[in-house]
Structure 1
Amino acid sequence: MPVQGRARWWGLLAISLGVATIIVDATIVNVAVPAIIRDLGITATDAQWVQEAYTLVFAALLLVAGRFADRAGRRRAFVAGVVVFVAASVLAAVAGSGEALIGARVLQGLGGAMILPTSLSLLNATFTGREKGIAFAIWGSTIGGAAALGPLLGGWLTTELSWRWAFGINVPVGALVVAATLALVRESRDERAERGLDWLGALLSVVGMTGVVFALIEGRTYGWWEREKPFSLFGLDWTAAISPVPVAGLVGLVTLAVFVAHQVRRSRSGRAALLDLSLFRIGSFRNAVVAAAIVSLGEFGLLFALPLWYQNVLGYSAFDTGLALLPLAVGSFLASGLGAPLVQRWGAARVVQVGVAAELAGIAGLGTVVAPDTSWWAPLGFLFLYGVGVGLATAQLTGVSLREVPVRQSGQGSGVQSTARQVGSALGIAVLGTVLFAGLGGILGDRLADQPGVDPAQREQIVAAVRESAGAAIGGLAADPRTAPIAEEAKAAFSDATRYAAFSAAGFLLVGLLACARLPRDHPEPSPPSRQPTPATTSGG
């Protein structure tokens, strides 16, 4: 029987909890990596792939997963994604080697890719009118809140129990999500989907996205042109002088161009296509997807730099860092309550613009207070403002992009929107990471040039150690009285570089705010009648 009334809202909570699980997992592992290295005895390269295998697979499969959900059933795809994610979490929790853990993370990325776009299409198919805006607000606040809660939860689990519980906790949460989704969320699918599957389109999409996202993520690590360090994965070594990054990026871009041409050809011939390009004729969808990609450049990139600054400069523990970032989560959750009345009063496009402006102000404010001796309370207000902006902008920008997309195509639309955000986020992290570490190396080198007793060879060695350890070497320098003055210079340099990264993120958000000005103006939505009509495109499940 169709799920109606209050049960839909409980179903929304189940969907949001599923999304929160994959978002938390993307951040929780960052805190657990040092313990994983000690326990499994893995190399730094393996540890890096533990973090990034998930992101790479997740971003590459979003478009395919969204289309699959439209055809096979959105609730079915969502539940299948949660099951895959939980099974992979069990494999990760019991992994006895780096290779096994990386493989489990790849499977987690597959499950996550099935969950995220499907969650959006389920909301689009379940809610209408003003209720849809409220639902997207709750979903959006979940994203921002979970991103901030991840380090807190990861720090507590790793410190008090084991890094394995960072994965093991997904098992009871996933079981709850599956049971609640099956009981409270109705099935829906594209009943008019063309027969046949676009297997070549799916392959081209995955290969193209993998190449582009790999290049964006790994450029700083392996070199944007010349290979700066050995590259190996699962026993395969890259021995060429040129970095694998430009090769992967070029292959990805060429493959995506072939993918677009393939989609145009299949659409014109009336055959099933992975991506219905007619979606881009919808002005609200097209403009919102572009705005989402640009906003994502600066939205979450700073969350990469802040934990490093808190731990390596201010000396916070992993758990204390999570507590320090908690205002961001509080602001994001609060925005879920503000979003609906603000949309009713101003319209969704204006709320998006207000949200991006709040993010911009919060991040720029953080840049003004970052210093080696920053008091614990100084960033709190800016983090809270940043969180409010994320909660408002993420939810309503998503709602604007899907507002005029037919329900039967909501999986495709959600996949495109999610992919745009992931690519934008990967590009933002790549650029901000380059700003952070290039700035750190340059500033620290200049500071040590005036340090007595440090010759050029020592200076180069110290700069390389601090930069390549992402600041972790500062603690060792500070512990030795002979190098304590150098540690103080390193803390100042890391703070300056973090400040530059914050201002760069604010610059991206300023461009994003200008892009949001092109969003179609909408009118505030009236209060809904007591009973909402059931969408005709859904089928009972």
Structure 2
Amino acid sequence: MSSGAAVTATGSRRWVGLFFISLGVALIIVDSTIVNVAIPSIISDLGIDSTQAQWVQEIYTLIFASLLLMWGRLADQWGRRRLFVIGVLVFMVASLLAARSADGNLLILARALQGVGGAMMLPTSLSLLNAGFRGRDRGIAFGIWGATIGGTAALGPLLGGWLTTSFSWRWAFGINLPLGVAVVIGLLLLVPESKDDDADRGLDWIGALLSAVGFGGVVFGLIEGRNLGWWRAKDDLSFFGAGWPWRISPVVVAFVLGVAALAVFVAFERGRNRRHRVAMLDLSLFGIRSFRNGNIAAAIVSLGEFGIIFALPLWFQNVAGYSAFQTGLALLPLAAGSFVASGLGAALGQRRGAIFVVRVGILLELVGVAGLGIFIRPDSTWLTTSPLLFVYGIGVGFATAQLTGVVLADVPLARSGQGSGTQSTARQVGSALGIAILGTVLFASLGSRLDDTLTGFAQLGAEQRTALVAAVKDSAGSIIPSLNADPRTAPIGAAAETAFSDATRYSALTAAAFLLIGLLASRSLGSGRAKSIKGEASPDGYGVGAISRSEE
């Protein structure tokens, strides 16, 4: 396929093909959350320590975020369907290794390999949609893609809780095998290949390495800051048995390395662009107003979006007393709202424009998250949270899909892999930053509130109070049910429940503040009314290739 052209399937084949693309996306999104509820069983079965358990959860996100840009670029050269299929196969092999893991280190390695496969798939899925759909159908396709992202993020805990409780934690990975086979067959039969035949051959390996190190360092620092120390290393810090030799935190080292690598990456790519050599990133894309401002808005919105998913499952299980499966059920309204929005968003976008839908979506997210920050109490139930999560889910479905359409609206089809990879990376970095900030708010306020309350317990000395606060924080609240079970410590458990509920509310209100910033940032996207540079309107309202742009 030559630059700027698209190969599209016809009739119902496109929509069935979209189902299999969305199923592949669902696999990688679910796997970012499914392990959270399976980790206690993994610890018990494999006998891994807390450091290994942490890496089982976080290595996937770290590898995933660091490679998105690279694979998005290579998809344009190698073929988007081909790379997506390779990504699914890598993901399946990694899932088999994870399901068969006999120790923690092998499971960590398998999770890292899953991150490689997932990074191949996510930006490539957007490129396939951008190449395969036109007109009104493109808005609907992006809506389904966005609903998949938002909905399956909430389905992960439900699926993980059911599989772990009813079968084994190994099935949380094993289920990816039959689903992966279905995705591969569906893509090969129903989704046409597309790539940029006019692109220069060759690979920018230095650019790929710099981008991976840069984004990997930044995301590592954001994920691990609370655990390893933002500035000074925590006492007796070690990695897989090897002690950390310096007093300064490894988070600082990671940030410095990551930012320096990204600075060199930009300078290096600018030089390659200027000399018209093959580059990992065409920096001229940031001269496109919708692309530049859309990525900024996407990062800010992601910061407020999925950070709250970090806090809520902990509150449901440790304060409300729900099981892992019940927690998944309690989060279902979020998924339901996101899927409802997939159809409504496309229709509304046709009438009012994509950017209007983005703003409505962010506003609904803001209402839902702020409501959680106002109404959550220790005695709250799913009846309190469900309506708010449903509203929030509709907002996610609106904003995620339509903002993606805005970001890619004016990106030439030949460079849609680069555009998709950049957009996915912006979202992942924003999400990691959100989890870092909201996690810090959650645990800092938990410790402060609980310490203030326990000061009034005359029977507790200063050392006992400090130890109890540390135990609640370090266990992420999982010690609360055992405190409640013992009549002697039940008052302390009640105090911890109140403190954890307050901390969850503060975390939600912080997320709402970032969503408000994202709503304000969406003003930079313009009116959302597409117009042609040559005076010819875009048929889909999003723009096609480099023909149209957002109105200034």
Match of 1:74 in 2: 80
Match of 2:200 in 1: 194
SS at the partner of 1:377?
helix
Instruction: Work out whether residues 331 and 388 of structure 1, in 8 Å CA contact, stay in contact via their aligned partners in 2.
Output: yes
Give the number of aligned pairs. Answer: 533
Alpha-carbon displacement from aligned partner over 1:410-456 (angstroms, at most 9, x marks no partner): 00000000000000000010000000000000000000000131111
- Among candidates 263, 268, 274, match of residue 268 of structure 1: 274
Give the Cα–Cα distance (whole angstroms) in 2 for the partners of residues 80 and 127 of structure 1: 22
Instruction: Work out whether residues 24 and 180 of structure 2, in 8 Å CA contact, stay in contact via their aligned partners in 1.
Output: yes
The one-letter code sitting in structure 2 at the alignment partner of 1:21 is: L
- The question of 1:483 aligning with 2:459 is answered no
Q: CA deviation at 1:234?
A: 4.7
Q: CA deviation at 1:194?
A: 1.5
Match of 1:287 in 2: 293
Instruction: Work out whether residues 436 and 498 of structure 1, in 8 Å CA contact, stay in contact via their aligned partners in 2.
Output: yes
- The question of 1:423 aligning with 2:426 is answered no
Instruction: Work out whether residues 409 and 545 of structure 2, in 8 Å CA contact, stay in contact via their aligned partners in 1.
Output: no
Match of 2:550 in 1: none
Match of 2:479 in 1: 473
- The question of 1:244 aligning with 2:229 is answered no
SS at the partner of 1:278?
helix
Give the Cα–Cα distance (whole angstroms) in 1 for the partners of residues 9 and 198 of structure 2: 23
- The question of 1:182 aligning with 2:188 is answered yes
Match of 1:322 in 2: 328
Instruction: Work out whether residues 328 and 385 of structure 1, in 8 Å CA contact, stay in contact via their aligned partners in 2.
Output: yes
Q: CA deviation at 1:154?
A: 0.4
Alpha-carbon displacement from aligned partner over 1:114-156 (angstroms, at most 9, x marks no partner): 0000000110011112211110000000011100111001000
Q: What stretches of structure 2 of length at least 5 have no aligned partner?
A: 1-6, 532-536, 548-552
Q: How does 1:88-107 map to 2 (within 5 A)?
A: 88-107=94-113
Give the Cα–Cα distance (whole angstroms) in 1 for the partners of residues 368 and 8 of structure 2: 43
Give the Cα–Cα distance (whole angstroms) in 1 for the partners of residues 429 and 249 of structure 2: 21
- Among candidates 304, 308, 318, match of residue 298 of structure 1: 304
Give the Cα–Cα distance (whole angstroms) in 2 for the partners of residues 229 and 15 of structure 1: 46
Match of 2:31 in 1: 25
Give the Cα–Cα distance (whole angstroms) in 1 for the partners of residues 9 and 79 of structure 2: 16
- Among candidates 473, 491, 501, match of residue 495 of structure 1: 501
Q: Structure 1 residues 103, 217: closer, same or farther in 2, change over 3 A?
A: same
Identity rate, percent: 64
Q: How does 1:399-414 map to 2 (within 5 A)?
A: 399-414=405-420
Give the Cα–Cα distance (whole angstroms) in 1 for the partners of residues 262 and 68 of structure 2: 14
The one-letter code sitting in structure 2 at the alignment partner of 1:139 is: W
Match of 2:116 in 1: 110
Give the Cα–Cα distance (whole angstroms) in 2 for the partners of residues 242 and 369 of structure 1: 40
Alpha-carbon displacement from aligned partner over 1:169-196 (angstroms, at most 9, x marks no partner): 0001100000001111110111121222
Instruction: Work out whether residues 230 and 239 of structure 1, in 8 Å CA contact, stay in contact via their aligned partners in 2.
Output: no
Match of 2:357 in 1: 351
Give the Cα–Cα distance (whole angstroms) in 2 for the partners of residues 341 and 185 of structure 1: 25
Match of 1:223 in 2: 229
- The question of 1:210 aligning with 2:219 is answered no
Q: CA deviation at 1:231?
A: 4.2
Structure 1 segments of 4+ aligned residues over 6 angstroms from their partners? 524-529, 533-536
The one-letter code sitting in structure 1 at the alignment partner of 2:371 is: G
**What is the TM-score when the length of structure 1 is the normalising length?**
0.96
Q: CA deviation at 1:534?
A: 13
Q: How does 1:441-452 map to 2 (within 5 A)?
A: 441-452=447-458
Q: What stretches of structure 1 of length at least 5 have no aligned partner?
A: 537-541
The one-letter code sitting in structure 2 at the alignment partner of 1:503 is: L
Give the Cα–Cα distance (whole angstroms) in 1 for the partners of residues 46 and 234 of structure 2: 26
The one-letter code sitting in structure 1 at the alignment partner of 2:202 is: G
Match of 1:504 in 2: 510
- Residues 153-162 or 450-459, more deviating: 450-459
Give the Cα–Cα distance (whole angstroms) in 2 for the partners of residues 6 and 232 of structure 1: 55
Instruction: Work out whether residues 126 and 535 of structure 1, in 8 Å CA contact, stay in contact via their aligned partners in 2.
Output: no
Q: CA deviation at 1:476?
A: 1.6
Match of 1:539 in 2: none
Give the Cα–Cα distance (whole angstroms) in 2 for the partners of residues 230 and 81 of structure 1: 38
Instruction: Work out whether residues 87 and 119 of structure 2, in 8 Å CA contact, stay in contact via their aligned partners in 1.
Output: yes
Q: How does 1:38-57 map to 2 (within 5 A)?
A: 38-57=44-63
SS at the partner of 1:378?
helix
Give the Cα–Cα distance (whole angstroms) in 1 for the partners of residues 546 and 162 of structure 2: 44
Q: CA deviation at 1:237?
A: 3.3
Give the Cα–Cα distance (whole angstroms) in 2 for the partners of residues 307 and 191 of structure 1: 47
**What is the TM-score when the length of structure 2 is the normalising length?**
0.94
Instruction: Work out whether residues 344 and 524 of structure 1, in 8 Å CA contact, stay in contact via their aligned partners in 2.
Output: no
